[in-house]
Structure 1
């Protein structure tokens, strides 16, 4: 039964990979960008971050 599960998982992963590649290609064709160039802003700050200090300030 483990072999059956591995075959199903392998097919599932291959399906996800194919969908991700198709999505990336569609983004490139329609928007002229790849998925690595799209950033989603945070809705709330990351815990433990002090937002009063800039990482780039001296």
Structure 2
């Protein structure tokens, strides 16, 4: 079985329990980054603002 490299600390681990991470700590670090918005898909914010009607516009219709 090949050992994978943890994307957080870059250590090698053969333990599949927390895969692709080496430990619960690294898995929690990754989860924390997701929850705090550390990972994001770049885009143009103006596109979404133009397509999404505001709450006031929806009530007026």
* Fold similarity call, TM over 0.5: no
TM-score, normalised by the number of residues in structure 1: 0.30
TM-score, normalised by the number of residues in structure 2: 0.29
* Higher relative contact order, structure no. (Cα contacts within 8 Å, ≥ 6 residues apart): 2
Q: Which has the higher strand share?
A: 2
